[in-house]
């Protein structure tokens, strides 16, 4: 059913990461109906990283989100078309029908998106999630022709992604995951132009060189400003 929807919405590629079922299974073919010839077009890979290779920006989807957890800070679905319209290519990542995506898998993506739903029962099944998300994302194709500035290239974005990972290594060990996620979310939600991405890279590179020059090494325990330290309630300051 997800394949049928992807074909309806003009998706260029479909990847399955370590699936538990074969795409040529009789039940899969029956549910695919008139889209069954596209099942041969589905690529099976061994890891999420392999599926995301060469993509400018990746978007994970989840019903679970939180403003306090940087990894799970999400944008609402209706903001995705404007963001994705600035990128050469994008991947939308859907999790398992049973448990969705793991924290590690979400950490491999640049943006987290969520479908606004009843907070008492926010989880949609996989086929529904694919349909709703791809309907919104398909609007990006319409917007692409209306935007007048030069977007950052995939190569620039990959360089930024790697640099962010190195910078996050200087955070306290328990904060590295959140630091990397926060920086990636900020940069990739902004859909930077070619010039903006270039300037951001130069600035972050200079910061990295300064950190390396201190000789403290990654995770060197730089002390946070006093107003950022957790207060009596356990949360940081304003």
Same-domain status, 79 and 120: yes
What's the pTM value of the predicted model, to 2 decimals? 0.79
Please write the tens of the pLDDT for every residue from 118-177.
888 878 889 899 999 999 998 888 787 666 667 889 999 999 999 999 999 999 998 999
| CB proximity list for 87: less than 8 A, separation 6 or greater | 56, 57, 151, 157, 191
What are the residue ranges of helices labelled H in 67-125? 80-84, 103-107
* End-of-domain residue from the set 144, 164, 181: 144
Please write the tens of the pLDDT for every residue from 12-70.
899 999 988 888 888 888 888 777 888 888 999 999 999 999 999 999 999 888 778 88
Give the least confident one: 8-12, 31-35, 198-202, 229-233.
Answer: 229-233
Closest listed residue to residue 218, CA positions, set 161, 163, 172, 164: 172
**Cβ atoms of residues 211 and 179 within 8 Å:** no
Structural domain including 159 reads: 154-213
Same-domain status, 19 and 122: yes
Same-domain status, 98 and 208: no
Q: Quick check: is 48 in a domain?
A: yes
Same-domain status, 64 and 158: no
Q: Quick check: is 73 in a domain?
A: yes
């Amino acid at each position: 059913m997800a394949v049928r929807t992807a074909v309806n919405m003009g998706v260029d590629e479909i990847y399955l990461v370590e699936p538990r079922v074969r795409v040529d299974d009789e039940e899969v073919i029956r549910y695919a109906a008139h889209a069954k010839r596209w099942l041969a077009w589905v690529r099976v890979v061994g890891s999420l990283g392999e599926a995301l290779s060469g993509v400018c920006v990746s978007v994970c989807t989840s019903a679970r989100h939180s403003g306090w957890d940087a990894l799970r800070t999400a944008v609402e679905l209706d903001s995705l078309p404007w963001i994705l319209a600035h990128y050469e290519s994008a991947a939308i990542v859907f999790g398992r029908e049973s448990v969705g995506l793991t924290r590690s898998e979400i950490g491999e993506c640049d943006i987290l998106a969520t479908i606004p739903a009843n907070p008492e029962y926010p989880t949609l099944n996989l086929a529904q999630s694919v349909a709703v998300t791809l309907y919104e994302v398909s609007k990006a194709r319409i917007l692409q022709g209306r935007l007048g500035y030069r977007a950052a290239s995939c190569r620039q974005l990959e360089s930024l992604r790697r640099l962010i990972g190195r910078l996050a290594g200087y955070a306290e060990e328990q904060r590295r995951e959140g630091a990397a996620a926060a920086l990636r979310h900020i940069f990739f939600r902004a859909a930077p132009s070619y010039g903006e991405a270039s300037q951001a890279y130069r600035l972050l590179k200079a910061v990295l060189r300064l950190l390396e020059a201190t000789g403290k090494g990654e995770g060197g325990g730089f002390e946070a400003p006093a107003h950022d330290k957790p207060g009596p309630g356990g949360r940081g300051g304003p």
